[in-house]
Amino acid sequence: MPELPEVEVVRRGLVSWVRGRTITSVDVLDPRSLRRHALGPEDFAGNLEGARVLDVVRRGKFLWMPLADTPAASGNPDSSAAPVPAVALMAHLGMSGQLLMQDPGVPDEKHLKVRLRLSPAAGMPEQLRFVDQRIFGGLFLTSLIPTDDGGPGGLAETPLPLIAEEAAHIARDPLDPNFSFDVFYRRLRARKTGLKRALLDQGLVSGIGNIYADEALWKAQLHYARPTDTLRRADALRVLDAARAVMTDALAAGGTSFDSLYVNVNGASGYFDRSLNAYGREGLECKRCAAAGRVGLLKREQFMNRSSYTCPVCQPRPRNGRW
């Protein structure tokens, strides 16, 4: 499943290609991808056609596009009036969802679900296509509501103090300039759980998925079962800084991709998986231990129906660990 860096790569691509353009028509090829839009395909298409995309916004792994009210929809014939977004197009990528910019002459992808045609723009593709092989993702319209944690609703080029309703419960992520370490640490210490379980809690800190949690913990030299209620401030800061550094590096590399299902808006896969230090390296030599002249082999353990990868030498298991 795409994690924060992958979703941010997609967001930045969409900002360049989609922001400011009007949706001229909508083709729904598979209504299953609109199952989260309760009013159905006709309502979905009817509300999108003629709407202008103001921006592309992300909170954690949630991605949405605020839409400008058309003069007709708002009852204001003055098209020069500043648009006030009330709704947004939400994109949930799920396990295999892709948002691709394509020209009309490019053949339809095998798993194409929804096609949005956009107003012409010089040198830019005319269609935004939602492709989803496993149909776990989807598109739907959502309301925008005021944020309750201060500042803009999420990462955007033109930030607004509004957030998609479905993302309102999601905490800010370590790459968000409005992220508060003090708030995070206070809430972390109030919990009695293991550190990795806390990092995966999107209500505490968003955007850190299984891969980047393992990478951040390896970088910070902390075990995933370290109790949160006794975690020192310096250790909490170290693991957050590690998560931020790992995700920043992944973002620069285009994200992590282990197969062809995750691609950015140009259809290119990420390649940060070549730089992973822990995840997926069971039985391989720990790079840090090797550099220090120690022998440490990465170990894989079951964790929350997933896998965790640690080095037993430089990430020793705590005696009072919590899972």
Q: Which residues are catalytic?
A: 2-3, 61, 306
Dist. CA 137–CA 134, nearest whole Å? 8
DSSP category for residue 171: P
Alpha helices in 175-309 (DSSP H): 181-189, 195-199, 210-220, 233-253, 287-291
CB 266 within 8 A of CB 279: no
List the structure tokens of 166: 């479905």
In the block, tokens 């598109």 appear at 139
CB 128 within 8 A of CB 60: no
Strands (E) in 93-242, as ranges, are 97-102, 112-118, 127-132, 138-146, 162-164
Q: Give the largest Cα separation in the chain, rounded.
A: 73
Dist. CA 138–CA 157, nearest whole Å? 24
45 phi and psi, to 5 degrees?
Answer: -65, -40
Strands (E) in the chain, as ranges, are 23-28, 52-53, 57-59, 62-68, 87-92, 97-102, 112-118, 127-132, 138-146, 162-164, 299-303, 306-310
List the structure tokens of 70: 């058309």
What angle in degrees, to the nearest 10, is found between the helix axes of 233-253 and 4-18?
50
144 phi and psi, to 5 degrees?
Answer: -100, 130
